[in-house]
């Protein structure tokens, strides 16, 4: 399968699992309703930018999502750069891509398959 964005070699990493069972994740989005741009990777948004300490180029090309709403609210929405962002709940399932738990327990990096229609699976989540 092809991924939504071009990925470097060995990305996703071998320990990233293919999503096969229903999984709900949360993501900060700039607009409601969300747009495709709300699901661009850090690398797509900053093609020549440096890689922040502690993450890999592969993670830069994935999407940060949380399996617990309260963690997304506490860890992302309170950051100054996410002021005026909203929360989106995304229902993942078979065909959504690959995912790996990274950093905090409920933080995951998700590499969506190109064929997965993210917007069709995303709904606004009230705080």
Domain of residue 46: give its range: 17-125
C-alpha span between 106 and 57 (Å, rounded): 21
Asked if residue 66 is part of any domain, the answer here is yes
Q: Residue 78 has what pLDDT?
A: 65
Which pLDDT does position 100 carry in this prediction? 97
More confident: 54 or 127: 54
pLDDT of residue 104: 83
10 within some domain: no
Instruction: Dump pLDDT digits (tens) for 96-107.
Output: 999 999 988 899
pLDDT over 80 at 91, yes or no: yes
Task: Count structural domains, the chain.
Answer: 1
Confidence of residue 86 (pLDDT cuts 50, 70, 90): confident
Q: Is residue 55 in a domain?
A: yes
Tell me if 70 is assigned to some domain.
yes
Q: Using 50, 70 and 90 to split pLDDT, how confident is the model at 73?
A: confident
Residue 46: CB atoms within 10 Å = 12
Question: For residues 107 and 49, what is the distance between their CA atoms, to the nearest angstrom?
Answer: 22
Q: Is residue 3 part of a domain?
A: no
User: Is residue 1 predicted with pLDDT exceeding 90?
Assistant: no
Model pLDDT, residue 80: 62
Q: Is residue 99 part of a domain?
A: yes
Please report, for residues 18, 37, 40, 87, the alpha-carbon distance to residue 29 in angstroms, rounded to integers and kept in the order given.
24, 9, 10, 6
- Considering the domain boundaries, does residue 4 fall inside one? no
């Amino acid at each position: 399968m092809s991924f939504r964005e071009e990925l470097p070699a060995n990305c996703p990493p071998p320990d990233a699992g293919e999503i096969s069972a229903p999984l709900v994740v949360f993501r900060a989005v700039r607009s409601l309703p969300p747009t495709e741009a709300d699901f661009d990777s850090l690398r797509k948004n900053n093609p020549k930018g440096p890689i922040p300490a502690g993450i890999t180029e592969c993670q830069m090309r994935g999407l940060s999502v949380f399996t617990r709403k309260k963690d997304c609210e506490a860890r992302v929405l309170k950051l100054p750069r996410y002021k005026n962002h909203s929360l989106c709940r995304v229902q993942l399932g078979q065909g959504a891509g690959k995912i790996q738990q990274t950093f905090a327990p409920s933080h995951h990096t998700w590499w969506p398959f190109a064929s997965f229609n993210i917007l069709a699976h995303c709904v606004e989540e009230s705080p």
